[in-house]
Chains A and B, each alone.
Chain A
């Protein structure tokens, strides 16, 4: 292990689902303690803490410290939509790369169970038409000039791909959800572990065509945390810690560069493609080398476009790629063997660490029933609208 390499020493996620008796601090502390235990280190070893809770009050990091150990280290409270967890991890990685410390903790947590539609705001009632806001609107635009809600936004993302390349039917998108729900049956930490038939998915409540309810990410509670360490420090630790450490071969964060339509419909493609390209370069691996991928299937319509954006298939070939069976757990590039956001659940700020936990779990050979045999390299992707994209490539320890 090279001294300037970065490793994940310990990582964990809580059970995703409903946690009525725990608040965000409880869940974050449970995840953080779990990661420290998994790493066989303590809060006293941490040189930095980066934490995020999108719906929280902004000081989740300090709240975690008060719960599990206040050592005076720098705390970064981060917020980057659905990429918040990945941003926390990236922050800890950067601190180690900068030589500020040799070990750090990243935590993401959210409580969302029972929350309705993501991205929806109540419409305003008006008695006098008065222009306001950046568009000089006299009334709300959501619902009158397109949609602001997430299911509708991501439905359009998938439909746009269909317009460009063809073949993206309602049934195809539903079959992507069918795959992820099938995968979730092997994941005891998933919020939903029920296999669903194609008919059940297609006949479920329609939210925003072509996304039915079971094609949308599941709002739920959950936390995830990771301990990262420098290669130099890892050399001084036990053989067991070295064996279970997972190499962070690439850690990339991008935002969306200007594209013609990006301010009309969010462009989730360009920044993902940019992040993937940079990550493959950094890691020196190609998409064919990946043994498994966890990508941001906030909606079934999103998963399709990310096959293409992450270059798992030739440009424009996502429909054929999915139809080949490649992304099922017994396929050539298993995607979302955790069940994905559609069934594992999507506690926003936890997601960007939980998907890395899934990859690490397989690379360490600890994934039990859902283990992808012989997994050596994996990729984790998240995207948050506005937009931010995190891509991490992880490799099994050489020991």
Chain B
């Protein structure tokens, strides 16, 4: 067991930065500014190989969504999957803290990043997930 297990929280994904103001972090190509949430050997857009970490704005606009009512076993439904435009960077995330109906969720809706607990593991470490909630 490593010393990391004494940390009380881990982010669901590596690109979620926890802390007082949780936000997403992307790898940005220094040459063309294309952004990636996972690691790249070279930029898919310009083939450059230098990247820097950049913070993604936490507020955005719902560019597309779907309300999934039929999913793989173990995935709670319904949930709202969406694509949020965060200041020009497209982000994938669920719409949370909002009734999952076409009456409550709409295209162009303004949202902000919000976090939630995914529960603790056997070592007492809590995983923190993120989604977007209506502003």
Contacts and interface: CB of A to CB of B under 8 A. Distances in A.
Instruction: Please indicate whether A and B come from the same complex rather than being unrelated chains.
Output: yes
Interface of A: 117, 120-123, 125-129, 131, 134-147, 149, 151-153, 155-157, 159-160, 162-163, 170, 205-211, 258, 260-261, 263-265
Contact of B72 (A120, A261, A264): A120
B36 interface: yes
A137 B13 contact: yes
Given A143-B76, A145-B92, A159 B13 contact: no
18 contacts: A121-B72, A122-B72, A125-B74, A134-B39, A138-B11, A138-B12, A143-B68, A145-B13, A146-B93, A152-B66, A156-B82, A159-B66, A160-B63, A163-B107, A163-B108, A205-B70, A258-B44, A264-B83
A147 B79 CA distance: 9
Contacts of B64: 156-157, 159-160, 163, 265
Q: How large is the interface on B (under 10, 10 to 19, 20 to 34, 35 or more residues)?
A: 35 or more
Nearest to A127: B122
A121 B123 CA distance: 27
A145 B123 contact: no
B8 to A, nearest CB: 11
Can you list the 9 inter-chain pairs with the closest CB atoms, starting with the nearest?
A136-B14, A143-B75, A155-B66, A123-B74, A261-B90, A160-B64, A209-B67, A147-B81, A120-B72
Interface in B25-67: 34, 36-39, 44-45, 62-67
B127 A129 contact: yes
Contacts of A258: 34, 44-45
Nearest to B66: A155
Contacts of A141: 12-13
A207 B90 contact: no
Determine which residue in B44, B73, B92 has the highest number of CB atoms from chain A within 10 A of its CB, and name it: B92
The secondary structure that dominates the A interface is loop
A313 B63 CA distance: 23
B72 to A, nearest CB: 4
Given A144-B94, A152-B81, A160-B63, A135 B14 contact: yes
B121 A265 contact: no
B3 interface: no
A159 B69 contact: no
Given A142-B72, A145-B131, A149-B70, 6 more contacts: A117-B71, A138-B10, A147-B68, A162-B107, A208-B67, A265-B64
A318 B122 CA distance: 53
Interface of B: 10-15, 34, 36-39, 44-45, 62-77, 79, 81-83, 88-94, 102, 107-108, 118, 121-123, 125, 127, 129-131
B36 to A, nearest CB: 7
A156 B83 contact: yes
Contact of A149 (B34, B62, B68, B123): B68
B37 to A, nearest CB: 7
Contacts of A137: 12-14
B69 A135 contact: no
Given A163-B107, A258-B44, A128 B70 contact: no
A117 B91 CA distance: 24
B10 A145 contact: no
B16 to A, nearest CB: 9
Contacts of A261: 63, 83, 90
Contacts of A125: 74
Contacts of A134: 38-39
A209 B69 contact: yes
B102 A156 contact: no
Contact of A156 (B15, B39, B66, B129): B66
Contact of B81 (A122, A146, A163): A146
B68 A152 contact: yes
A151 B70 contact: yes
Determine which residue in A122, A129, A139, A209 has the highest number of CB atoms from chain B within 10 A of its CB, and name it: A129
A120 B83 contact: no
Contacts of B93: 145-146
Contacts of B36: 263
A156 B68 CA distance: 11
Given A135-B13, A142-B71, A209-B67, A128 B123 contact: yes
Contact of A208 (B12, B68, B88): B68
Nearest to A163: B107
A139 B72 contact: no
Contact of A128 (B11, B118, B122): B122
A155 B79 CA distance: 13
B81 A260 contact: no
